[in-house]
Amino acid sequence: MFVDGHRRYRRPVNTLMLHSFVFTVAGWISSGQQGVIDYLREENRVLREQLGGRRLQLTNDQRRRLAIRAKVLGRAALRGFTCIVTPDTLLAWYRKLVAAKYDGAPYRGPGRPRTASTIAELAARMAMENPTWGYTRSGILPGARRSPWPAS
C-alpha cells in the first residue's frame, strides 16, 4: 500500500496471541458458568432430600415458567439430568400452554348462533303451505295455524 509515494507497512497482528487470549477468556467464562450449574444441581439434590417422597404442589405460574425453560432445552437435554418432574410432563405442560394461547375461547359465544327470524318464518310458512314435504313429525297438527318450531 502506497501513501504519498512511500510504502506504509502495517504491523502484523500476532494471531496466536489473540487466539490464546480469546480462548482463555472463553474458558474462564465457561468455568464460572459450570460452577453455577454445579451449585444449582447440588441445591436441587438437597431440596429433594428434604422433600422426601412427597409430591410437589406447583402453581400454574410455576408450571408455566418450568415449561417455557424446558422447551428451550428440549427432551434430550432434559433426560440428561434429574428434574422435579419428567421431561414428558414438562413438554406436555408446554403443549397445553400453547394450546390455551391459541384456543380462541374468549372470542366465541356460547352455543350455536340463533337462526334469523326471517328464515324461521319462511321455513314455518313453507311447512304450513306444503304439509306433504319433508319430515312429517314436525309437531304441526293437520290444519293448525301455528309454527312447527316453538322457538320461532
Mind spelling out the 3-state secondary structure of the chain? Answer: CEECCEECCCCCCCHHHHHHHHHHHHHHHHHHHHHHHHHHHHHHHHHHHHHCCCCCCCCHHHHHHHHHHHHHHCHHHHHCCCCCCCHHHHHHHHHHHHHHHCCCHHHCCCCCCCCCHHHHHHHHHHHHHCCCCCCCCCCCCCCCCCCCCCCC
Phi, psi of 2 (to 5 degrees): -110, 135
pLDDT tens, per residue, the chain with 152 residues:
555 556 665 656 677 777 777 778 777 777 777 777 877 888 888 888 888 878 888 888 888 988 888 888 888 888 887 778 888 998 999 999 988 888 877 787 788 888 888 888 888 888 888 877 766 555 544 555 555 555 54
Q: Is 46 exposed, middle or buried (0-12, 13-18, 19+ CB in 10 A)?
A: exposed
Q: Looking at the 3D structure of the chain, how many domains does it have?
A: 2
Whether residues 39 and 68 share a domain: the answer is no
Whether residues 72 and 88 share a domain: the answer is yes
Query: Is 61 domain-assigned?
Result: yes
Whether residues 73 and 85 share a domain: the answer is yes
Whether residues 72 and 40 share a domain: the answer is no
Whether residues 44 and 70 share a domain: the answer is no
Whether residues 75 and 91 share a domain: the answer is yes
What range does the domain containing 40 cover? 1-54
Whether residues 1 and 40 share a domain: the answer is yes
Whether residues 20 and 62 share a domain: the answer is no
Query: Is 147 domain-assigned?
Result: no
Q: What is the pLDDT of residue 92?
A: 93
pTM: 0.47
Whether residues 64 and 31 share a domain: the answer is no
Q: What is the pLDDT of residue 141?
A: 45
